[in-house]
Amino acid sequence: MNQRSNEDWLDSLRAPVSDEALTDLRNILIRGLRAALSGRVQTDLDALVEDFVQEALLKVLKSLETFRGESRFTTWAQKVTIHVAFTELRRRRWKDVSLQTIIETSEGDEYTPAILTDPSASPELEATQNEVFEIVERLINEELTEKQRTAMLAVLQGGMPMEEVAQRLGTNRNALYKLMHDARQTLQRRLEETSGITAKELLALFEKK
């Protein structure tokens, strides 16, 4: 395989693209991604690597002008490839999971936000936390819109990627971020109005050991 400088790679991959350079880059990315995903993927690793590298190559070719030369070109291309692979793996992980599954248990009960539970808390602290939890739970149910509530629980409790939640809700990442920001602002304001507890005091309460 030819040893190329950053400029050599850029020149070879700009139109008209050099087939030799593209093949060399593909082989480099396949080796790197196979090593990165080894032990993380239980299914057909080689098939997944082929798919992800193909998608990554297209992205690399479209993004050549964004390469700033702060690292080796192949290192940059490998980072692009790993980002593509991990994004797709997260998407596939949640492909068959409904939002309703995220916000309800199998018994139909709503999940308790993880931040509001602490099995190691003392009885006194636990009593205080439970009191605050009841207030927060009521505010989530009464003060947030259905869309805000679904988004908050899916991302913060369920751990679903924002891109996936945005797609399920028929919106985009920026709009979802604004939706969740507004929801947090509403909860913080109403919590302070209802209980006199600020957001800072709430976090401190649940960070105590």
| List of domains in the chain | 6-93 (1.10.1740.10), 99-207 (1.10.10.10)
Percentage of the chain with pLDDT > 90? 31
Contact 61, 17 (CB under 8 A): yes
Residue 208 structure tokens? 């105590």
Range of lowest pLDDT (31-35, 62-66, 114-118, 186-190)? 114-118
Residue 110 backbone phi and psi in degrees, to 5: -80, 145
Q: What is the pLDDT of residues 124-154, one digit of tens each?
A: 666 666 677 777 778 888 888 888 888 887 8
Contact 25, 74 (CB under 8 A): yes
Residue 106 structure tokens? 């199998």
pLDDT of residue 139: 82
Place of tokens 């636990």: 126
By the 10 Å C-beta count (0-12 exposed, 13-18 middle, 19+ buried), 158 is classed as: middle
pTM > 0.85: no
Place of tokens 């993380």: 40
Question: Is-cis flag, bond preceding 16, omega within 30?
Answer: yes
